[in-house]
């Protein structure tokens, strides 16, 4: 983290993980806080505390507080069978208005973590987090065919406007960098929340889209897209935007969904992607604690984070 591009970016060390203990019930009472920062763990976690992309996208700020809220909600969840531990590498913190320096610093950090860990989980931040996540994966695996699976109500392929890159432009930016190798699937897209210009761009770029309507009962409508991208790619970057969930379950996001995709469907999609064995990198984005007074969205994010660490 000493390579941060400028003084708007800093590194905040990981907080001490604390929570409940139940020694009276024996050895199998471990919770996530018990296995944080264990020696030899092959999973790593890092946060991206950034509001710049959401503000530029005319959203509601608060995403910079997301990483710590997710950690707090994770701490008392039971440690899953087969997960010996994980390393928490703290947060990349961006203080400026331009997300670019923070994304660059996050990419450097992710690339370093991928050299020593089988999987890295990034806690955002707005969806501008994706640029840093992807940069890190590409730096770590320069020759790999990368597939992107984004569970999201939006494709986030807006063109970069006068205000600059934002939380609405990350996959546009990735396409600009690698137009020929762009393997991208969006699962849970809400037609009403996206303009026809974005629909046209997705079609032009060959983006695979599975609508939220198709995912109301179960996840099977998404399985062919997942299997296809896994078959043609060497590794998968999995991104989870919490605004894909119904507002009743995830009110604490910049753009709550009136319909959304049910949690059990999102969990089944995650399991299908993880079952490919190709997920080296995942992130969870758009949690805005100021808009989540009961902490419900954070708790949902924590469930997803646990699944992504263990799966």
Residues making up the binding site for Mn(2+): 127, 152, 154, 156, 241, 243
The SS3 of residue 306 is helix
Are residues 123 and 69 in contact, defined by beta-carbon separation less than 8 angstroms? Answer: no
Q: What are the angstrom distances between the C-alpha of 246 and each of 217, 222, 249, 287?
A: 14, 18, 5, 13
Q: For residue 77, count CB atoms less than 10 angstroms from its CB and return exposed for 0-12, middle for 13-18, buried for 19 or more.
A: middle
- Which two structure tokens, joined as six digits, stand for 137? 């994966």
Q: How far apart are CA 215 and CA 233, in angstroms?
A: 24
Binding residues: 127, 152, 154, 156, 241, 243
Q: How far apart are CA 222 and CA 273, in angstroms?
A: 10
- What are the φ/ψ torsions at residue 286 (nearest 5 degrees)? 80, 5
- Which two structure tokens, joined as six digits, stand for 241? 């935007």
Q: How far apart are CA 183 and CA 157, in angstroms?
A: 13
- Which two structure tokens, joined as six digits, stand for 213? 């309507």
Closest by CA position to 285, among listed 138, 146, 123, 176: 123
Give the distance, in angstroms, between the CA of residue 6 and the centroid of all CA atoms in the same chain: 24
Span between the terminal Cα atoms of the chain, in Å: 28
Are residues 215 and 261 in contact, defined by beta-carbon separation less than 8 angstroms? Answer: yes
Closest by CA position to 64, among listed 78, 53, 75: 53
């Amino acid at each position: 983290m000493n390579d941060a591009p400028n003084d708007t970016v800093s590194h905040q060390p990981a907080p001490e993980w604390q929570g409940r203990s139940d020694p009276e019930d024996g050895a199998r009472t471990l919770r996530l806080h018990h296995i944080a920062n264990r020696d030899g763990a092959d999973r790593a976690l890092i946060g991206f505390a950034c509001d710049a992309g959401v503000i530029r996208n005319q959203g509601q700020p608060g995403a910079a507080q997301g990483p710590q809220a997710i950690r707090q909600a994770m701490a008392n969840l039971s440690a899953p069978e087969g997960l010996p531990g994980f390393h928490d590498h703290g947060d990349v913190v961006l203080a400026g208005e331009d997300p670019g320096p923070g994304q660059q610093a996050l990419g450097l950090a992710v690339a370093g973590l991928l050299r020593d860990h089988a999987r890295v989980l990034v806690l955002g931040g707005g969806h501008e987090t994706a640029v840093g996540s992807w940069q890190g994966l590409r730096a770590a695996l320069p020759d790999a065919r990368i597939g992107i699976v984004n569970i999201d109500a939006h494709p986030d392929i807006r063109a970069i406007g006068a205000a600059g890159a934002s939380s609405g432009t990350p996959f546009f930016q990735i396409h600009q960098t690698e137009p020929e190798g762009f393997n991208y699937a969006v699962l849970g897209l809400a037609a009403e929340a996206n303009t026809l210009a974005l629909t046209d761009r997705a079609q032009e770029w060959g983006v695979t889209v599975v609508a939220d309507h198709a995912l109301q009962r179960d996840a099977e409508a998404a399985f062919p897209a997942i299997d296809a991208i896994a078959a043609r790619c060497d590794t998968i970057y999995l991104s989870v935007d919490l605004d894909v969930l119904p507002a009743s379950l995830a009110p604490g996001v910049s753009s709550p969904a009136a319909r959304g995709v049910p949690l059990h469907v999102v969990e089944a999609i995650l399991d299908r992607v993880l079952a490919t064995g190709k997920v080296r990198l995942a992130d969870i984005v758009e949690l805005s604690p100021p808009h989540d007074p009961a902490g419900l969205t954070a708790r949902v994010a924590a469930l997803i984070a646990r699944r992504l660490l263990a799966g």
